[in-house]
Amino acid sequence: MTSAYLAKKLGFDTLWLGYLQTMVGLIQLLGGPMFGRFADIFGARAALSLSCSATIVFFLLLAIASSPAMLFLHKVPTVFMHVLPASQMVVADLSEPDKRADALSKIGLCYGIGMIAGSMLGGQLNTRYGETFTACVGAVGSAFSLMLVLKFIPTTTKAQATRTNKDSENKSKSIFNVGEITRLLKFPGVMRTFVVKIIAGLPSGIFQVMFSIIAMEFFKLKPEQNGYLMAYFGITSMVIQGGVIGRMTARYSEGSLLLLSIGMSSLVGLAQAYMQNVFQFCLTVIPMMFALSTFNVITDSMLTKSVPSSDTGTMLGLCASVQSLLRTVGPTVGGFLYVNYGVSSIGLIQFVVNIAVFVYLLQRHFTKTAKQKE
């Protein structure tokens, strides 16, 4: 968010902000699967350390950014900035398959705390001391995170049996082996889940990447106010992922929760299409965060269970690339919709697309149930 306000200060309009966001999405789209392969070959700890190191470089470049070219340059380290997927790789390696969704949701609890503290602190620092000082604080915080990773994360996180069977095979294969990455899409159910993840996630992804612009131009929020709003997101996410999703996964099937999240997302889109102020938007935050959190946790859990444990890193890298694809397409599509049709168009598209996916999955569920009864 700091870079968005700095971009505005450097004269970026909505279109160029969209280009900046698209660049980040494209870089991470290409880097996500390779990062996952890196984790499977060298270990999740090495991957998380690399991600934290890239974040340090990212903030240092942001601190010295004084021109549009430097603002674009500081985005280059995002090719390795996959802290959340890397953390998920550690959790996926260390958790049992039947408890994976719950474990992945607990990661969201930790990141919710980080969002609360980081957003509030970032907003205050940005308002009082400017973007440069805020970026330096971010670099120091990332360096501290790197030290924690090196201190507490075990060198080997995958099961010993898995490493014995696959270690020598993986070591002989390149990180850039596209065939090894696309091979995972051929496992049963993986391609369908990926298509659902992309199509159902695209409209909400558009809103997320456009939110910095919506906050500044539609809601007229200052950096400090935006920090408080992001903290609200964090509190909501923390409660949902830390205290709700785990209980729901123990009681309901992943397929049912996927349907629930997509259906709720469609209703959120409809509500956001008619919001007029930040208070009305805040009323949609709780169902929005529930739908987003549940959708991401459940789809990630389903996909990692669909492949061998030795390939969970690559699969989570592919999951990260889906989010990056949304961030790549989102700014261009979102910028066009926002400029020409307003914020309401983004919400209406989310409603229509998610309702269509919901009906498709519900029909497929009924067909599958009928065949089982026969």
Q: Which CATH class is domain 177-373?
A: mainly alpha
Q: What is the pLDDT along the chain (374 residues), one digit of tens a residue?
A: 556 666 767 777 667 777 777 787 788 888 888 888 888 888 889 999 999 999 999 999 988 887 878 888 888 898 888 888 889 888 888 888 888 888 888 887 777 677 777 777 887 888 888 888 988 999 999 999 999 999 998 888 776 544 445 544 554 456 767 777 788 888 888 999 989 999 999 888 888 878 878 888 888 888 778 778 877 887 888 888 878 888 898 899 899 999 999 999 999 999 999 988 888 898 999 999 999 989 999 999 999 889 888 888 888 888 888 877 877 787 778 888 888 888 899 999 999 999 999 999 999 888 877 776 66
How confident is the model at residue 291, as a pLDDT? 94
How confident is the model at residue 213, as a pLDDT? 81
Helix (H) or strand (E) holding 326: helix 312-341
Q: Side chain identity at 194, as an amino acid letter?
A: F
How far apart are alpha carbons 185 and 192 in whole angstroms? 9
* Domains 1-154 and 177-373 agree in fold: yes
How confident is the model at residue 172, as a pLDDT? 47
Nearest-5° angle of CA 355, CA 356, CA 357?
A: 90
How confident is the model at residue 197, as a pLDDT? 92
What do you get for the CA distance between the two ends of the chain, in Å? 54
Tokens of 366: 């009924």
C-alpha torsion sign, points 122, 124, 125, 131: positive
> What are the residue boundaries of the structural domains of the chain, listed by start?
1-154, 177-373
**Percent of the chain clearing pLDDT 90 (strictly above):** 26
Tokens of 299: 């789809």
CB 78 within 8 A of CB 328: no
CATH superfamily assigned to domain 1-154: MFS general substrate transporter like domains (1.20.1250.20)
How confident is the model at residue 223, as a pLDDT? 74
pTM (two decimals): 0.77
